[in-house]
Structure 1
């Protein structure tokens, strides 16, 4: 093999986990699910803005999804440590599917109720909150520990590829049809693609809980089980800080709730909204495709903080752009940084936690990772009503970058972190 070939392979995404049949099947299901969901994630805020003409109401969608996440994310993580994780995925996926059909029905019938949209968003968040801890805690059970970062990178890259194509296709739909017809078609596509996801979940093998180890702690799905997981979490400052910087990034620098208003005010609406919803995912895909270096970084805590700071700066600068191409470019840079931070956060959590606690900690992770953007939606929409859309977008990005640096400097455990079992380099 030539030196050039070795170098190329070292920078390209690591596909080794796809040799594991079980992971490959799950990977296909995750990709189909996220691609389909992007149609709904664009259609819901577009429909809400069309009904209310208010960024604040669009931001309330984030609050509607946050409360169920706080409750059912923790409970779903505890349940994932007690029951067969495949069965839990089947149940929660069925719930999500029913909600998608409900969104389709209300759009097709021409129901213009912001309260119904909020309610359906909340129930959809319940399904996601239950399924996500089980889905993520399965990965260390089906691939070797050394493959976990590569498996996470594959998942993030594939789902963000869906995050590129899905919003672009949804934006095209919005440009072709009127808003009412466009959102109906978008919901229908999501419902159809979910059949692939459910099939892939059905084909997974049984993944029952592992017998309790010498710790003597027997997992339970009740409050006691959740408390045990939280007690473990508070003894791990690296985990706490990784959650903290992610919350900062998402709460202060997630401009998603502002996309419908900016698309209409700056770029005339139409397909522009699809490009804005796709831009972050475009950067994540490009970052994932060139992610062969991620597994070789030893100072993973430093890399995580740097990625969050880069995210905030890119978001802040993108809010200043009045050319669609420039805004997309800067949002893509932010997306590449987000891919890096997401892989390190997930990998750190999965390798820190023993399997008997993995579901519960993944539940906390779900609350933080999925709840943060929803708080960000509420923050962005509420701030925009006071300061204007531009100030809400730009200020949030720069504040996030500054706060991430302050947190890392004040509590240096994260920037000192290195993987516990990093193989020594051979000279």
Structure 2
């Protein structure tokens, strides 16, 4: 599952202290406990965030770059939703922002993953990242020109979603090539934790900026500047050529990836559970309307709340990598998400809604780390790009469908009914999966050593 010793770029990866061969990776002992570190107390080792992957230089650079870029991307995501609501006054149009990204996420997520299995992943990551950066600059330009055209924003989000799908599929396939298998869960936990810190900082910063004159310009401009950190990290990666042989760029390779998932019940059931969570219970399209209705337009805390809970869960998530009954853990985590979302929908005080959304975010972090780890370690390296393509399609496409569902239901009923009803529907459906698909509920992984 790792780069072979004669693969171009392997020397650069080894010098970063990472995986270099299919066997025991060079420097494994150093990665497990880098020189100069002090052993953590037993309790911290069990529940604290595992930082061992930070000893791997290429991974550390990617984490730093993506962390900065994610703050900016959340600035833009918040600004786009608020700007669309400002232009149209409709939650339905805010939901369309998510729907506009669905088709490119599906198409480019699946096909981008296939490309990642056939070309140098560093080059593909850089080129696709440049697309998303260009769209941010275009969002800045359309605001500067005062266009105020919903279709322009929707078209730009369409293009941005395609670049995001390819870069995310590629990045997910890169991580197992940079760190040894035993550190993949810790690397994923670090990725999600830093990403969720960005989800906290980005919306809170957006809440402050969007209240200013030219606030949208500030948001898009800062995003463009921060994204250069991700580009820097990509340039600093060693070459990461495909490790498989004969992988094509055609539709057949996509079909092969989907067939691989179809033969693996744990994979497709984990995707199904996540789809239920995102499509049925994702409330973000309703945040502008609820903030205006109940909280005087203070939308920043709502966008940040889920990420706050995820950050806390990540910092205390050292135990996630040792979970053996992963099917059961996924079911319970997603059920907790649905309950917390439903309760948050009836809250009338901002701090109550914030706290409940934070609980939902903690449950989502547990689910996300388990699903990503299973996918990255279960599949061979020559299949990982396609697996990550499907993962991105589900993870990014699900919330977009959820936005469309929430916005459409709110336009027919009310934002509160849409919010609460979605959370309850998620709870019922996922509980039903747990009851009826007993093999998934009883699934156990072999697990790894205690850390």
TM-score range, shorter chain: over 0.9
Q: Which structure's residues are more often helix, by fraction?
A: 1
CA 367–4 in structure 1, closer or farther in 2 if over 3 Å, else same: closer
Query: Does the residue aligned with 1:205 lie in a helix, a strand or coil?
Result: coil
Unaligned runs of 5+ in 2: 1-38
1:106-156: CA deviations, max 9, x gaps?
111111100001000000001001111110011111111111111000000
Of 214, 223, 231, the residue aligned with 1:198 is 231
Q: Deviations over 1:82-121 (max 9, x none)?
A: 0000000110011111100000001111111000010000
Partner of 1:221: 249
What is the distance in 2 between the residues matched to 1:421 and 1:149? 11
| Map of 1:207 onto structure 2 | 240
- Which of 267, 279, 296 is equivalent to 1:268? 296
- Structure 2: how far apart are the matches of 1:351 and 1:375? 28
Counterpart of 1:133? 169
Would you say 1:186 and 2:219 are equivalent positions?
A: yes
- Gapped regions of structure 1 (runs ≥ 5): 213-217
Deviations 1:232-284 (A, max 9, x none): 11000100000000000000100000001111111111xx2111100000000
Mapped contact 2:117–2:385 kept (Cα < 8 A): yes
* Residue aligning to 2:80: 44
Match of 1:291 among 304, 307, 317: 317
Looking at structure 2, the residues matched to 250 and 326 of structure 1 have their Cα atoms a distance apart, in angstroms, of 22
Determine helix, strand or coil for the equivalent of 1:111: coil
Provide the secondary structure at the position in 1 that maps to 2:118. Answer: coil
C-alpha distance in 1 between matches for 2:105 and 2:306 = 23
Check whether the contact 2:49–2:314 (CA below 8 A) recurs between aligned residues: yes
2:197 to 161, 171, 175: 161
Specify which of 410, 416, 419 is matched with residue 393 of structure 1.
Answer: 419
Helix, strand or coil: the match of 1:395? helix
CA–CA distance in 1 between the matches of 2:321 and 2:268?
Answer: 22
> Out of 333, 340, 347, which is 2:366 matched to?
340
In structure 2, distance between residues paired with 1:64 and 1:258: 17
Deviation, structure 1 residue 291: 0.6
1:4 deviates by 9.7
3-state SS in 1 of match to 2:210: helix
In 1, distance between residues paired with 2:447 and 2:185?
A: 13
Number of matched pairs:
414
Question: 1:7, CA displacement in angstroms?
Answer: 1.2
Q: Distance in 2 between matches of 1:221 and 1:309?
A: 38
Q: Which runs of 4+ in 1 moved over 3 A?
A: 420-423
Range that drifts further, 289-298 or 407-416: 407-416
- Structure 2: distance between partners of 1:338 and 1:421: 21
Superposed, 1:26-65 pairs within 5 Å as 26-65=62-101
- Report the equivalent of 2:13: none
Q: Compute the displacement of 1:412 (Å).
A: 2.3
Aligned to 1:215: none
- Which of 37, 50, 72 is the aligned partner of 1:14? 50
Q: 2: distance between equivalents of 1:4 and 1:30?
A: 27
Q: Residue 220 of structure 1 aligns to a residue in which SS? A: coil
1:123 match: 159
- 3-state secondary structure, aligned to 1:291: coil
Matched position secondary structure for 2:101: helix
Q: TM-score, normalised by structure 1?
A: 0.95
Q: Which residue of 1 aligns with 2:280?
A: 252
Whole-angstrom distance in 2 between the partners of 1:238 and 1:408: 13
CA contact (8 A) 2:243 2:382 kept: yes
Relative to structure 1, the CA distance from residue 187 to residue 4 in structure 2 (aligned partners, 3 Å threshold; closer, same or farther) is: closer
Residues in 2 aligned to 1:136 and 1:50: alpha-carbon distance in whole angstroms = 35
Deviations 1:131-183 (A, max 9, x none): 111100111111111111110000000010011011001001123x14xx111
Cα distance per residue 1:358-408 (max 9 Å; x no partner): 101110111001000000000000000011000000010011011111112
The 2-side partners of 1:418 and 1:185 are apart by 48
In structure 1, the residue corresponding to 2:337 is in which secondary structure?
helix
* 1:237 pairs with 2:255: no
**What CA distance in whole angstroms lies between the structure 2 residues aligned with 1:22 and 1:416?**
37
Determine if contact 2:277/2:426 at 8 Å carries over to the other structure: yes
Contact 2:58 2:178 in 1 (8 A): yes
Q: 1:332-382 CA distances to partner (integer Å, 9 max, x unpaired)?
A: 000000000000010111111111111011101110010000000000000
| RMSD between superposed Cα atoms in Å | 1.5
Q: Secondary structure at the match of 2:50?
A: coil
